[in-house]
Amino acid sequence: MKKLLFVLVLFFFTNQSMAESIDFNKNEIIEQCQHGKVLPKITTFKINIVHHKTTSEDGCLIVKENNNNPAKSNQRSVKITVHPDFCSRDEGWNDCTNDRSRVEFYDAEGVKSNKRVVYDFSIYIPKDMNIAQIDNSIKKRQSVVFLSQLNTITSKMYKSLVMLRWTDSDGLIFDTYDKFNWKVSKSSKIPHLLPESQKGRWIDISYEVDVYPNKKGKLKIYADGKLVYERYNHRTIKKYGKISLKLGIYNYRESKMKRPRSSQYVYYDNIKKTVTSF
């Protein structure tokens, strides 16, 4: 009986604490991102949340536009937050034992062969945000922060066509991969836009992909309407594969980040998927 009472008391206080933390900024928060559902007035397609059972409760929020939170349209945006020492996991992967941390969401359906997809989104990094948290005393194999991925997937393969990372020296950099591996083929910067100028404002990004498992494949990347990268006559999926956009913060080699850590957060808005069949 005592054990049962203890469990009930613990359950009550735990849930009270969770409720209070979720409602703490209720004047700013519209709702939490929901795994397997659309982000209302932000996406028209359903999203899945990476490690959705173990991600932090404030990791992916739809927030109201105000002095603290920017928005591009509809007076709302998605705020992604990764706290110091946070990590998540699922049945297939454990960030906690692999020196990573993240809060990410992705197109749940993806886009299959013989189609063109244009993924559009806008990203906002606050001016005072130290998003990279690089430890400059480490000269080799430093930590890396990614803010977007364009993934190419089959039932047996998970690779990227594009990974968007942030560096304090160059700002946003698009790493592209040509051979379905993790070796970067080319790194493309946003031309004529210094890192300081990339913060505190919305940057519009587009990935245009002709989805084919042969040389009909094509990839174009735009930033603020200007072409940053293009590749023709190159397959973008393997047989029976698909393309899927992923957004959020992904820290690689988290243990190499500068201590003490601080929370990282960025905003996303105007997330669109336009599909054309050939």
> At residue 72, does pLDDT exceed 80?
yes
Please check whether residues 81 and 16 belong to one and the same domain. no
What does the pLDDT read at residue 21? 45
Please give the DSSP secondary-structure letter assigned to residue 254.
Answer: G
Tell me the pLDDT tens digit for each residue of 216-260.
999 999 999 999 999 999 999 999 999 999 999 999 999 999 999
Cα angle 32-36-39, degrees, rounded to a multiple of 5: 45
3 and 135 part of one domain: no
For residue 195, count CB atoms less than 10 angstroms from its CB and return exposed for 0-12, middle for 13-18, buried for 19 or more: middle
Do residue 74 and residue 17 come from a single domain? no
The b/e string for 80-105 (b: 16+ C-beta within 10 A; e otherwise) is bbbbeebbbbeeeeebeeeebbbbbb
Residues 136-160 pLDDT 10s = 999 999 999 999 999 999 999 999 9
* Tens of pLDDT, residues 82-109: 999 999 999 999 999 999 999 999 999 9
Residue 46 has pLDDT above 60, yes or no: yes
Say yes or no: 16 and 130 in one domain: no
Pair (4, 55) in one structural domain: no
Mean pLDDT across the chain: 92
Co-location of 250 and 149 in the same domain:
yes
What is residue 26's predicted lDDT score, i.e. its pLDDT?
Answer: 72
Query: Do the Cβ atoms of 151 and 244 come closer than 8 Å?
Result: yes
Same-domain pairing of 140 and 246: yes
> What pLDDT is stored for residue 212 in this prediction?
98
Residues 249 and 168 in one domain: yes
139 and 246 within one domain: yes
Domain hosting residue 42, numbered range: 33-277
Closest CA to 235 of 219, 252, 222: 219
pLDDT at 9: 39
- Lookup result for tokens 């469990």: 7
Q: Are 239 and 264 in a shared domain? A: yes
Verify that 123 and 6 share a domain, yes or no. Answer: no
Whole-angstrom Cα distance, residue 243 to residue 236? Answer: 8
**Number of domains forming the structure of the chain:** 2
| pLDDT tops 60 at residue 6 | no
**Reported confidence tier of residue 163, pLDDT bands at 50, 70, 90:** very high
Residue 23 has pLDDT above 70, yes or no: no
pLDDT for position 27: 81
pLDDT reported for residue 13: 37
Q: Is the pLDDT of residue 43 over 60?
A: yes
Report the pLDDT value the prediction gives residue 102, as an integer from 0 to 100: 98
Task: Report the percent of the chain where pLDDT is more than 70.
Answer: 91
Q: Are 8 and 73 members of one domain?
A: no
CATH of the domain at 185: 2.60.120.200
Q: What is the pLDDT of residue 16?
A: 37
Helical (H) or strand (E) element with 10: helix 2-23
Residue 109 makes CB contacts below 8 A (sequence gap 6+) with 45, 46, 244
Q: What does the pLDDT read at residue 261? A: 97
Amino acid, single-letter form, for residue 159: K
Following CA atoms 153, 154, 155, 160 in sequence, which dihedral angle do they give, to the nearest 10 degrees?
-30
Instruction: Name the token pair of 267.
Output: 């905003």
Residue 2: per-residue pLDDT: 45
